[in-house]
């Protein structure tokens, strides 16, 4: 009941304050454990995805700095957000996330770990690839752009144009036990390149010339 109420409010606000276009939402599995891996441009990215995804079990990893926010803390708790310390390797949070996925939950994560200050993709951390390996669940790549302009446009009484594009789910290959670190990095590059392939060229950042991205674009 509370989730439905919050989702209705979020949808109303985005419809009122932004010009939102989305595509590929049908690629989000209707049930079963899966990771939503998205680029991260703004604080509104998480509520945006919460409003768009119909599943009642969608939640996300949330930086623990927001635990002290009197407004956000109860809302994040209400939707089952999993707190994570982004300043270190938070294996406790990853264990909770893995268990959530293995129980069939849908979990949103930003592979970059934090917001991009430039608007373009920055070097991703290996946490999502590690978690996908441990939970053995598919990853759904999600590209978001325009959210970084939301508050700037509102200050000028304009509605920001926001786009969300969801790609097809995919499974990463198992890690190579003989080169765990190298294969973990390769898997990370692959999943972020799949996000980059969904983004306009100016948002692809450090992955713009990556061979994996070029291969994906050539096969599109």
pLDDT of residue 32: 96
Cα–Cα distance measured from residue 115 to residue 142, given in angstroms and rounded to the nearest whole number: 15
Q: In this structure, are residues 1 and 75 in contact, taking their beta carbons and an 8 Å threshold?
A: no
- Written as six digits, the tokens of 181 are 């670190």
pLDDT of residue 89: 72
**Phi and psi at residue 209, to the nearest 5°:** -110, 10
Q: Give tens-digit pLDDT for 72-109.
A: 778 888 888 888 887 777 788 889 999 999 999 999 99
Q: Give tens-digit pLDDT for 111-146.
A: 998 899 999 999 999 999 999 999 999 999 999 999
Q: Give tens-digit pLDDT for 5-38.
A: 889 999 999 999 999 999 999 999 999 999 999 9
pLDDT of residue 197: 98
pLDDT of residue 100: 96
pLDDT of residue 220: 65
Q: In 3D, which of 17, 3, 37 has the Cα closest to residue 139?
A: 37
Cα–Cα distance measured from residue 127 to residue 206, given in angstroms and rounded to the nearest whole number: 18
Domains of the chain: 2-218 (3.40.1130.10)
Q: Give tens-digit pLDDT for 160-192.
A: 999 999 999 999 999 888 888 899 999 999 999
């Amino acid at each position: 009941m509370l989730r439905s109420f919050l989702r209705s409010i979020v949808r109303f606000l985005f419809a009122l304050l932004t010009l939102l276009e989305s595509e590929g939402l049908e690629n989000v599995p209707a049930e079963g454990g899966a990771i939503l891996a998205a680029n991260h441009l703004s604080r509104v990215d998480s509520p945006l995805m919460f409003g768009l995804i119909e599943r009642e079990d969608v939640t996300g990893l949330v930086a623990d700095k927001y635990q002290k926010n009197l407004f956000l803390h109860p809302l994040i708790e209400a939707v089952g957000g999993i707190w994570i310390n982004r300043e270190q390797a938070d294996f406790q949070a990853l264990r909770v996330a893995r268990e959530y996925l293995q129980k069939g939950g849908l979990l949103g994560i930003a592979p970059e770990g934090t917001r991009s200050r430039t608007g373009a993709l920055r070097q991703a951390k290996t946490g999502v690839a590690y978690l996908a390996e441990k939970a053995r669940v598919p990853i759904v790549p999600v590209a978001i752009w325009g959210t970084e302009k939301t508050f700037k446009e509102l200050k000028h009484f304009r509605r920001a144009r926001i786009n969300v594009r969801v790609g097809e789910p995919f499974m990463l290959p198992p890690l190579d036990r003989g080169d765990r670190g190298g294969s973990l990095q390769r898997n990370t590059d692959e999943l972020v390149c799949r996000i980059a392939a969904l983004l306009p060229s100016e948002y692809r950042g450090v992955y713009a010339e990556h061979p994996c991205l070029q291969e994906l674009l050539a096969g599109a």
